[in-house]
Amino acid sequence: MDNLSNTFVHAFPPAQPASGPAFWLVFSKDGLFLHTADGLGVLHQGDLSSVEALCLRAPLCLGTLGGLPCLAADFDPELDVPEGWSVRGLRSLYGELPEAEYTLAGYAMQMLYWRRTSGFCPVCGHRTEPRDGDWGRLCPECGHIAYPHVTPATLILVSDGPRLLLAHKPGWGNRYSILAGFVESGESLEECVQREAMEETGLALTDLAYAGSQPWPYPHQLMIGFTARYAGGDIKVDGIELDHADWFTVDSLPELPSPVSLSRKMIDEWIASQSITSPAE
């Protein structure tokens, strides 16, 4: 599935898949169903009869993958896991799956979460209805329209010449990463970067630059990466979000995030930039 991102084509409600073979992504409250015969792969291929033991709620059609429908469905959490299946939390698969496959599983989880949490209008409490052509939900009583939530958060790689700022959160074991924080109402992404850095470490930044983005389905985040240079201040962690932060060089790096994460990709790019030296005179 390494070329998944090149072959998956999005579809939107009320798309109805043709009967026959399909790719299935099945979730319960405890995680993602894996078919024993499929190994670690999260995409189970088969017709409806191959998943009927899971007693699924009506599947959502996410799109097509290699010409086959890609379906996401919920398993009844009151039932026992049937023979031939196991359940893994999607977080526990982080770093074990190809990036494109992990991203598609995350998309499926987000859309199922949206269906579970959008059945009633937040304004008047009336039952909502699906809209044609997108994932929106319409309230026929008051006209309110809601769309799947996307919560932006920034990732912030701070460097100072040969030094890289890395931080540690309680519960992370030996792992360190770059700074991160949610965007608040009324602030720009750049303002969020400056605020989070000051609140969590007491450092001022300059030379902000966009570095990429990544969906993060826990439950509906979008991570937006920035690089920045240190502009002043002494490290003083807030003691709430972080319990330690420090400067590291290429030769002194601690345990880092998984390679599939945007934070690790940004760190790896910084590491690569440190190996570029000026030509000998």
Would you give the distance in Å from CA 38 to the centre of its chain?
A: 23
Which residue would you say has higher pLDDT here, 78 or 236?
A: 236
CATH 3.90.79.10 residue ranges for the chain: 151-274
Average the pLDDT over 46-64 and give the result: 84
Tens-digit pLDDT profile for residues 103-118: 899 999 999 999 999 9
Q: Report the alpha-carbon distance of residue 213 to residue 160 in Å, rounded.
A: 23
At 146-167, the pLDDT tens digits run 999 999 999 999 999 999 999 9
Segments of the chain assigned to CATH 3.90.79.20: 4-117
Give pLDDT, residue 167. Answer: 98
User: How far, in Å, CA of 75 to CA of 6, rounded?
Assistant: 29
Pick one of 3.40.50.300, 3.40.50.720, 3.90.79.10, 3.40.50.1970 as the CATH number of 151-274. Answer: 3.90.79.10
Q: What is the DSSP letter of 264?
A: H
User: Does residue 280 carry a pLDDT above 70?
Assistant: no
Query: What rounded mean pLDDT belongs to the chain?
Result: 89
Query: Which two structure tokens, joined as six digits, stand for 17?
Result: 């898949």
Specify the higher pLDDT residue, 47 or 187. 187
Q: How confident is the model at residue 52 (pLDDT cuts 50, 70, 90)?
A: confident
Q: Which of these, 223, 192, 209, 204, lies nearest to 165 by C-alpha position? A: 204
Q: Which residues have a Cβ under 8 Å from the Cβ of 113 and sit 6 or more positions away?
A: 217, 219, 220
Instruction: State the Cα torsion 117-92-26-64 to the nearest 10°.
Output: 100
Q: Summarize pLDDT for 190-239 with one digit per residue, the tens.
A: 999 999 999 999 999 999 999 999 999 988 999 999 999 999 999 999 89
CATH class of 4-117: alpha beta
